[in-house]
Structure 1
Amino acid sequence: MDPRTSAQELLLCDLCQTAALQSHCELCQINLCKACVGDHLSDSSKRHNVVPYKHRTFSDFPKCQNHSKKQCELYCKKCDIPVCTTCISSGKHTGHDLLDMRKFISSKTEELGRDLTELEKEFNPVYEKIASDLKTEKAHVVGHFEKLTTTITQQGEDWHREINIIVNKRKSEIGEMKEKYLASLNEEEEKIMEITSDLNESILEMKKILDANDVSRTSAYKSRNDEFRSLPPKINISLPSFFPHQINREQLYQSFCSVSALPITSVPRGYILKTKEAVSCPSPKPMLDEPEIITTIDTRYNPLFSVTCLSDEEIWTCWNTDIINSYNKEGKVLKLVQTSMRIGDIAVTNSGDLVYTNDITRTVNIVKNSQIQELIRLQEWIPYYVCVTSTADLLVTMLSNEKRSIVDKQSRVVRYSDSNIEKQSIQFDDKNDPLFSYHHLKNISENRNQDICVADYKAKSVVVVNKAGTLRFRYNGHPYNQSGPFKPQSITTDSQSQILIINNNDNCIHILDQDGQFLRYIDNCDLKRPWGLCVDKKDNLYVAEFLSGKVKQIKYM
């Protein structure tokens, strides 16, 4: 019995896919069973040359490694090698899964094409983006250290002549620190560039294989995509800060200043490459022509400030008191947190714990198992609004203490790690101008692309910066249906990376895409003095009304 037709059940007719093949059309390169030969020959628009399957000719299959005069007509999946009929007759591949060589070459060509597409469209852009981000981060590091040097110099001018020695010493320390940090980033950049170069070489090699249409090279192709799937760790740079002290001549060196120097660590990157099993992202959700109110929750408290979602069924709210309540959709109070002083803003962590700010004590606190714990205490800054990021960091908006001239009238956003260590300060643009106005109403939210969105009420603008703190765009309102200046009161984002903003001046909600393009208003839900808002995981919008004390749940997608 011919091993080419008896070894596997896979060798079936290409037309009916049910009967065992017996013949082969060499001009059409198709395998046929006895019943399908007549149907195939009935197509007179093409020439045909039907021969018994075992007598078909081969001109482009690879030579057998063990039998040099034989061509490999089949491929053994278990042994991962091409095999000829003599190999099969020897019994070495009995019970193995054998594929017709044409089908194998076809599947390998498809695999190669898929891998090439993945490298070009998925992997290469990510590595190029990482390299670009490293350049931006290096520039940020250089700029940060230049600001430190300038600040230290200004501080030194206020001191007596003998402080100059200490000034130079501190500059030298900062310079060494900068070189150390930049050296780490340079090393990381070199690694990324090496991988990117290797990746591009793989892409070129794949293209050459595809263009050459060489079956031997195609069958010998081994995918390297898994090598590039695992991204190298990212160097986490925690930049130092400058803390000036009052002049103390007896302890001049110690009291001049302190510069925090945190270790350089490696953390997972914020980029995620799809695995081979990954499914495609869901298609965008369309917005309703007419948003509608689903539920109205009456908290019976006013003025009502903030609302945040604990789950799809439970929300937290706060107002101008020392109490924070959670409600279900029926308006029933589920939990109550009694604090020591007035609440500033609230947020919920990724693990479901409540976080709140207190501008009187200058603290950020967390409620765990009904117990209040202090996370952050500030001295020269006053915290106001807070949000939790996708990586469990805290973003806090804050103002400087006016009584301290060294930080007089400044506003910034600070990122704290899950261990409550300051990781990043966002305060100035690339021209060293302030990004934010000096005013406490500065609601904040992180978008799905890790942009940081700030509703700057006094500046009449929404300020959006990327994760590195670089300004992406400002949104100053849309002229339609606007009865006065744009006054962004509160801000949140949804699963589509859309930005939702309360305009306090016209009782409506603006919706933007992630690049700041205006999409639509929500202005038909009888909103009365809306103040706070949030979105749950199902993209239901919750709006807290300042004077009525009501929270309206709105369906808009």
Structure 2
Amino acid sequence: MDPRHSAQDVVRCDICETAIVQMYCDFCHINLCVTCIGKHIADDYQKHIVVPFQKRKSTLIYPKCSTHQKKVCELLCKECDMSVCSLCTTISTDKHNGHTFLSLSEIYNERKADITKDSEEIENVISPTYEEMSTDLETQITNLDGEYVKFTTVVTKHGEEWHKEIDNVIKKMKNEIEEMKTKHLEILKKHLDEIMQIQSLIEQSLITLKEMEESNEVSVTMEYRSKNKEFRKLPPKVRVSLPTFSPNTIDSEQLYKSLGSLIPLSFTTDENGGTLKKTEILPKKPMDDPELVTAINTGYKKLYNVACLIEEEFWTSTAVSDMKCFNVQGTVINTLKTKSGDCPRDIAVTSDGDLVYTDWATKTVNKVKSGQTEEVIRLQGWKPVNLCVTSSSDLLVAMYSDDKTQSKVVRYSGSTEKQTIQYDDEGKPLYSGNTKMKYVSENRNLDICVADLEVGAVVVVSQAGKLRFRYTGHSSTKNKAFRPFGITTDSQSQILTADFDNHCIHILDQNGQFLRYIDNCDLKGPYGLCVDKSDNLFVAEFHSGNVKKIKYLQ
């Protein structure tokens, strides 16, 4: 059989129709083999966007500007709630004068994240809950005949104790029971129909969300509005009580009344509609062989720091004033300079996506918000080194004294000092008193983890500042002494620290027990570390200037 007509055939090049596809044109949306790339882009190579097939549809398709036909819209006017191009923001008109412009790609990524979140909630929580309600109603309907047979049997048994003159009364009561059953059935079926209609809407919504997740159409994504709030409001829960029979003593004159009475069918509705099902989230496990997802060259000769912005974007810094933001395709999407012109010692990203950095030359911690740099903290007698943003949006800043004899970690809420961590319970210094890096990270259990390079130890204290443990390396076959540089934590409360001299990453549990190394991704001088929301590890390599994205959990 011709493999091109086989149901199991691999994807083929759309031009030659024979070679296996290796590349994809994100502009023309066609599959390409390497040989046919030149033929495809020959007409106008600048307009084509050829990417590896695995990264197809990764290039955003921006809408055309309605005012400037040759431009595409990469910004959103916040006040007008409309997409605009760069010319719309620079040409002097009254239409957008004084307005705020947001990056369309950032909003697109946020909406994509919302879509994925909604899809996961529908698939894992909302839909299973409705399925359970539907199954419960179907079970009640299935068992309804059996319950009413039992009920009818009780009435019949009592009727047999009477003489034939009560047969008509028994028949009348049976008819009443049948009417009750019919009404009961109608109530349950009516509620089941309502549930199944909502389920149909949920299934359709999930299909739409899946299509939108796979789509790279900005306009479609921008028009998306979540329906999950409607789905979360569960319909009233019907509770139907079966009728009961209360027999009386036989009285031929009052036969109907004496035989007994039927308590009418009754039902109630629970307006709360029950509760949404909670799905159990299984813990992630370390992979036997961590995978190198990609390596991005930053262009820096020596690379110090990396901080995740979103899953596909990250900030970097080194011994110059420039701080660059890259996407995972290696494109520079933003560049900022320190206010002082000196190099930043460390960088971090807030929950709002703002960049913060330490400037030891000016003894300040600064935040860059909407392109404007503001001074958050100014120290006296101390110089800031490293920092991190906590889960409560506080800042943890590692610093050393001007005389280079003391070090400490200070917690700030905004510009207000809330906590100082410097000594243990015996009054001894927790950290070495020198100018070398002391990368800091907050764990999920709120422990504060510091990589103290000078003494070759990871020092971990509780949220209250009490020493929990010191990790000084793992007794193994590593050739050189443990000297930790960057440090970060993940969703499993694991601590990851860069072992610069041994070209590997140590992974510890939250109690300081060594779990494993990451040493199979050709790491060369790992320096700064960060972990994104999906537990992908980003490693800044000092000598190569590369940022490596590594998958190490499954």
Instruction: Give the alignment's TM-score, normalised by structure 1.
Output: 0.53
Whether contact under 8 Å (1:381, 1:400) holds in the other structure is: yes
What secondary structure sits across from 2:511 in the alignment?
coil
**1:525 maps to amino acid:** C
| Rounded Cα–Cα distance in structure 1 between residues aligned with 2:549 and 2:155 | 72
Deviation at 1:347, TM superposition (A): 0.1
Question: Given the superposition, is the C-alpha separation of residues 500 and 90 from structure 1 closer, same or farther in structure 2, using an over 3 Å criterion?
Answer: farther
Aligned to 1:312: 311
Deviation at 1:479, TM superposition (A): 1.3
* 2:538 is aligned with 1:539: no
What secondary structure sits across from 2:267 in the alignment?
coil
| Rounded Cα–Cα distance in structure 2 between residues aligned with 1:359 and 1:11 | 67
**1:294 maps to amino acid:** V
What secondary structure sits across from 2:288 in the alignment?
coil
**1:486 maps to amino acid:** F
**2:393 maps to amino acid:** A
Aligned to 1:510: 506
Aligned to 1:467: 463
What secondary structure sits across from 1:19 in the alignment?
helix
| Rounded Cα–Cα distance in structure 1 between residues aligned with 2:508 and 2:469 | 12
Aligned to 1:441: 437
* 2:343 is aligned with 1:342: yes
| Rounded Cα–Cα distance in structure 2 between residues aligned with 1:401 and 1:91 | 91
Deviation at 1:327, TM superposition (A): 0.6
Whether contact under 8 Å (2:243, 2:262) holds in the other structure is: no
Q: Which moved more, 1:480-489 or 1:519-528?
A: 480-489
Unaligned stretches of 5+ residues in structure 1:
1-9, 25-30, 35-50, 56-76, 100-274, 403-407
| Rounded Cα–Cα distance in structure 2 between residues aligned with 1:365 and 1:13 | 62
| 1:310-389 paired onto structure 2 within 5 Å | 310-339=309-338, 340=340, 341-389=342-390
Whether contact under 8 Å (1:22, 1:52) holds in the other structure is: no
CA offset digits 1:126-174 (Å, max 9, x no partner): xxxxxxxxxxxxxxxxxxxxxxxxxxxxxxxxxxxxxxxxxxxxxxxxx
Whether contact under 8 Å (1:460, 1:476) holds in the other structure is: yes
Question: Given the superposition, is the C-alpha separation of residues 399 and 17 from structure 1 closer, same or farther in structure 2, using an over 3 Å criterion?
Answer: same
| Rounded Cα–Cα distance in structure 2 between residues aligned with 1:360 and 1:481 | 40
Whether contact under 8 Å (2:243, 2:264) holds in the other structure is: no
State the superposition RMSD in angstroms. Answer: 3.6
Aligned to 2:410: 414
Whether contact under 8 Å (1:12, 1:19) holds in the other structure is: no
Aligned to 1:396: 397
| Rounded Cα–Cα distance in structure 1 between residues aligned with 2:243 and 2:396 | 62
Whether contact under 8 Å (1:23, 1:53) holds in the other structure is: no
| Rounded Cα–Cα distance in structure 2 between residues aligned with 1:451 and 1:90 | 69
What secondary structure sits across from 1:304 in the alignment?
coil
Question: Given the superposition, is the C-alpha separation of residues 294 and 91 from structure 1 closer, same or farther in structure 2, using an over 3 Å criterion?
Answer: same
Whether contact under 8 Å (1:21, 1:53) holds in the other structure is: no
| Rounded Cα–Cα distance in structure 1 between residues aligned with 2:139 and 2:534 | 49
Aligned to 1:250: none
* Alignment match of 1:17 (pick from 143, 160, 175): 143
Unaligned stretches of 5+ residues in structure 2:
1-135, 159-236, 247-259
Deviation at 1:330, TM superposition (A): 1.6
* Alignment match of 2:422 (pick from 397, 416, 427): 427
CA offset digits 1:326-377 (Å, max 9, x no partner): 0111211110001221111000001000000001100000001111100000
What secondary structure sits across from 1:97 in the alignment?
strand
Aligned to 1:454: 450
| Rounded Cα–Cα distance in structure 1 between residues aligned with 2:514 and 2:371 | 42
What secondary structure sits across from 1:288 in the alignment?
strand
**1:390 maps to amino acid:** S
Whether contact under 8 Å (1:490, 1:531) holds in the other structure is: yes
Question: Given the superposition, is the C-alpha separation of residues 82 and 526 from structure 1 closer, same or farther in structure 2, using an over 3 Å criterion?
Answer: same
Deviation at 1:17, TM superposition (A): 1.9
Deviation at 1:547, TM superposition (A): 1.1
| Rounded Cα–Cα distance in structure 2 between residues aligned with 1:533 and 1:437 | 21
Whether contact under 8 Å (1:358, 1:364) holds in the other structure is: yes
CA offset digits 1:378-433 (Å, max 9, x no partner): 0011111010011100000011121xxxxx7221111001x321111111111111
* 2:480 is aligned with 1:481: no
Whether contact under 8 Å (2:239, 2:269) holds in the other structure is: no
| Rounded Cα–Cα distance in structure 1 between residues aligned with 2:239 and 2:322 | 69
| Rounded Cα–Cα distance in structure 2 between residues aligned with 1:450 and 1:311 | 22
* Alignment match of 2:492 (pick from 492, 496, 520): 496
Question: Given the superposition, is the C-alpha separation of residues 78 and 555 from structure 1 closer, same or farther in structure 2, using an over 3 Å criterion?
Answer: closer
Aligned to 2:268: 97
Instruction: Give the alignment's TM-score, normalised by structure 2.
Output: 0.53
CA offset digits 1:268-317 (Å, max 9, x no partner): xxxxxxx9657245101122211121111001112110001000111100
| Rounded Cα–Cα distance in structure 2 between residues aligned with 1:92 and 1:98 | 19
Question: Given the superposition, is the C-alpha separation of residues 463 and 98 from structure 1 closer, same or farther in structure 2, using an over 3 Å criterion?
Answer: closer
TM superposition outliers: structure 1 runs of 4+ over 3 Å = 10-16, 51-55, 77-86, 89-95, 275-278
Whether contact under 8 Å (1:481, 1:506) holds in the other structure is: no
Question: Given the superposition, is the C-alpha separation of residues 78 and 323 from structure 1 closer, same or farther in structure 2, using an over 3 Å criterion?
Answer: closer
Aligned length: 325
Question: Given the superposition, is the C-alpha separation of residues 12 and 514 from structure 1 closer, same or farther in structure 2, using an over 3 Å criterion?
Answer: closer
| 1:39-78 paired onto structure 2 within 5 Å | none
CA offset digits 1:455-496 (Å, max 9, x no partner): 011121101111111111111110123212211111001111
Aligned to 1:196: none
Whether contact under 8 Å (1:485, 1:505) holds in the other structure is: yes
Aligned to 1:183: none
* Alignment match of 2:525 (pick from 526, 529, 536): 529
Deviation at 1:505, TM superposition (A): 2.2
Question: Given the superposition, is the C-alpha separation of residues 82 and 394 from structure 1 closer, same or farther in structure 2, using an over 3 Å criterion?
Answer: farther
Aligned to 1:43: none
